[in-house]
């Protein structure tokens, strides 16, 4: 299993930015699934499981970012989410909490859970003071749909993997913000201008219209209609394409916010 882990992680490093990425991604995901099955069948001890899972989790986070930003026809968002969730659940059972990066990614990945802040405080001593504050403020900004504060804190995070994990929440954050707008502004005929939504959600026009269309939101030439929007029409974010922000674009956003 360890040999398989080393092989697939090297394969990821070799192909993650090449045209062969879709094939490599499909193969790696299949092999990692097999490794997790072997862990159960062989009743692997906690130390070995922890070693394997802490190698898998960075792959799942970075590969999701790669697939969302560059496209990958072998990628299934829902399946990838379930596999990442499985890794984190198994990791949580055997972790000693010493790997600060994986622990931080765990809380970012579960930021939408109602228990995330409470449990973060349980692990406060596992983090340096600055990282703990950043994680707490980032999760709170996400929960309050404060997009400006979210991006500012995200830009201050150290470590590329943490930035990837934080950027993956952007799609849900955008979805939440728009849902709040639809709940707050239900006047008949009221239109939210595209220019305003582009500025707030940090989306280009094409992506914005695609997402609104997937949510069955009526649109005019200048914006989208808020009337008639209700909870039943706000579909699961996993079924829409709220476009994860590319990490190179984060600095551009920060320049706009300053």
Length of the chain: 258
What are the pLDDT digits (tens) for 18-64? Answer: 678 888 899 889 989 998 998 888 888 988 999 999 989 999 998 88
Higher pLDDT, 6 or 150: 150
Res 124: pLDDT: 95
pLDDT of 81 over the 70 cut: yes
Domain boundaries, the chain: 1-11+20-95, 185-257
**Residue 166: is it exposed, middle or buried by C-beta count within 10 angstroms (0-12/13-18/19+)?**
buried
Taking residue 248's Cβ as centre, other Cβ atoms within 10 Å add up to 8
Question: Would you say 226 and 185 are in contact if contact means Cβ atoms under 8 Å apart?
Answer: yes
What are the pLDDT digits (tens) for 102-123? Answer: 999 999 999 989 999 999 999 9
pLDDT of 229 over the 60 cut: no
| Percent of the chain as helix, strand, coil, to the nearest 5 | 70, 5, 30
pLDDT of 232 over the 50 cut: no
Mean pLDDT for the chain overall = 80
Closest alpha carbon to 9 in 48, 59, 53, 57: 59
For 146: left if phi > 0, alpha if psi spans -120 to 50, otherwise beta; the answer is beta
Res 21: pLDDT: 85
Distance, CA of 171 to CA of 209 (rounded, Å): 15
Distance, CA of 57 to CA of 35 (rounded, Å): 13
């Amino acid at each position: 299993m360890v040999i398989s882990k080393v092989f697939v992680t090297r394969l990821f490093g070799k192909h993650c930015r090449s045209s062969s990425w879709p094939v490599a991604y499909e193969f790696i995901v299949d092999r990692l699934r097999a490794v997790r099955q072997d862990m159960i069948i062989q009743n692997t001890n906690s130390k070995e499981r922890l070693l394997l899972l802490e190698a898998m989790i960075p792959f799942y986070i970075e590969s999701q970012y790669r697939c969302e930003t560059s496209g990958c026809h072998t990628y299934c968002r829902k399946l990838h989410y379930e596999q990442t969730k499985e890794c984190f659940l198994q990791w949580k059972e055997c972790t000693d909490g010493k790997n600060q990066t994986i622990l931080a990614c765990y809380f970012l990945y579960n930021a939408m859970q109602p228990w995330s802040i409470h449990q973060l405080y349980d692990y406060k001593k596992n983090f340096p003071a600055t990282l703990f504050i950043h994680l707490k403020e980032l999760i709170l900004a996400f929960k309050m749909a404060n997009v400006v504060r979210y991006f500012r804190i995200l830009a201050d995070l150290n470590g590329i993997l943490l930035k990837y994990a934080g950027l993956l929440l952007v799609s849900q954050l955008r979805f939440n913000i728009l849902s709040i707008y639809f709940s707050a502004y239900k006047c008949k005929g009221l239109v939210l201008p595209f220019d305003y939504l582009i500025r707030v959600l940090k989306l280009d026009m094409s992506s914005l219209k695609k997402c609104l269309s997937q949510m069955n939101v009526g649109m005019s030439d200048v914006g989208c209609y808020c009337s008639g929007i209700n909870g039943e029409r706000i579909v699961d974010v996993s079924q829409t394409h709220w476009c994860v922000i590319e990490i190179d674009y984060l600095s551009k956003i920060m320049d706009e916010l300053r």
